[in-house]
Structure 1
Amino acid sequence: MFPSFYNRKRNEPFINKDNRLFSGEKEIPERKGIKYFADTNTYASLFGDQWKHYKKTQLDSYSGSPITETRLNRCLGNLKDNLGGKLVLEAGCGAGRFTEVLLKKGAILVSSDLSSAVEVNLENFPNTDNHLVIQADINDMPFADETFDVVVCLGVIQHTPDTEKTIEDLYKLVKKGGTLVIDHYTFDKSNYLRTAPLYRAYLRKKTAAYTIPYTQKLIKRYLPLHKKFAHNKLMSVLLNRFSPVISYYTAFPQLNDAQQQEWALLDTHDSLTDWHKRFRNKKQISTTLEKLGAAEIWCEYGGNGVEARCKKP
Structure 2
Amino acid sequence: MNNNLHKATVEGFGDEWERFDQSELPHEEQQRIFDAYFSIFPWDILPKDAEGFDLGCGSGRWAKLAAPHIGKLHCIDPSSALEVAKRNLAENYNCEFHLASVDAIPLNNATMDFGYSLGVLHHVPDTQAAISACVEKLKIGAPLLLYLYYAFDNRPLWFRLLWKTSDLLRQLISRLPYGARYFTSQILAATIYFPLAKTALFFEKMGLSVDHLPLSTYRNYSFYTMRTDALDRFGTRLEQRFTQKQIELMMEKAGLENIQFSSAVPYWCAVGYRKKPEDSKT
Normalising by the residue count of structure 2, what TM-score does the alignment of the two structures yield? 0.81
Question: Please, which of 7, 10, 13 is the counterpart of residue 47 of structure 1?
Answer: 13
Secondary structure of 1:168's counterpart equals helix
Output one character per residue of 1:241-267: Cα deviation in whole Å (capped at 9) or x when no partner: xxxxx56553xx2x4xxxx22111110
Q: Write the letter of the residue equivalent to 1:264.
A: M
Q: Would you say the 8 A contact 1:150–1:178 is kept in 2?
A: yes
Question: Please, which of 97, 100, 103 is the counterpart of residue 139 of structure 1?
Answer: 103
Please list every run of 5 or more consecutive structure 1 residues that lacks an aligned counterpart in the other structure: 1-8, 10-37, 241-245
Displacement after TM superposition at 1:40 (Å): 10
Q: Write the letter of the residue equivalent to 1:96.
A: G
Decide which structure has the larger Cα Rg and report it. 1
Task: Name the CA distance, whole Å, in 2 between partners of 1:129 and 1:116.
Answer: 20
Displacement after TM superposition at 1:138 (Å): 1.2
Q: Which stretch shows the higher mean deviation, 284-293 or 225-234? A: 225-234
1:206 paired with 2:176, answer yes
Task: Name the CA distance, whole Å, in 1 between partners of 2:260 and 2:213.
Answer: 35
Q: CA RMSD in A?
A: 3.0
1:226 paired with 2:192, answer no
Output one character per residue of 1:218-275: Cα deviation in whole Å (capped at 9) or x when no partner: 23333553255223489x89995xxxxx56553xx2x4xxxx2211111011111222
- 1:27 corresponding residue in structure 2: none
Q: Write the letter of the residue equivalent to 1:193.
A: L
1:298 paired with 2:267, answer no
- 1:23 corresponding residue in structure 2: none
Secondary structure of 1:44's counterpart equals helix
Q: Would you say the 8 A contact 1:60–1:67 is kept in 2?
A: no
Question: Please, which of 89, 95, 98 is the counterpart of residue 53 of structure 2?
Answer: 89
- 2:31 corresponding residue in structure 1: 66
Identity of aligned pairs, percent?
22
- 1:154 corresponding residue in structure 2: 118
Question: Which runs of structure 1 show a deviation greater than 6 angstroms over 4 or more consecutive aligned residues?
Answer: 236-239
Q: Which stretch shows the higher mean deviation, 260-269 or 141-150? A: 141-150
1:164 paired with 2:128, answer yes
Normalising by the residue count of structure 1, what TM-score does the alignment of the two structures yield? 0.73
Change (3 A) 1:139 1:39: closer
- 1:14 corresponding residue in structure 2: none
Displacement after TM superposition at 1:41 (Å): 5.3
**Larger helix percent:** 2
Question: Please, which of 10, 22, 26 is the counterpart of residue 56 of structure 1?
Answer: 22
Change (3 A) 1:122 1:83: farther
Task: Name the CA distance, whole Å, in 1 between partners of 2:178 and 2:144.
Answer: 32
Change (3 A) 1:300 1:66: closer
Change (3 A) 1:296 1:59: farther
Task: Name the CA distance, whole Å, in 1 between partners of 2:216 and 2:183.
Answer: 18
Q: Write the letter of the residue equivalent to 1:141.
A: I
- 1:281 corresponding residue in structure 2: 243
Say how many residue pairs are matched: 262
Q: Would you say the 8 A contact 1:86–1:149 is kept in 2?
A: yes
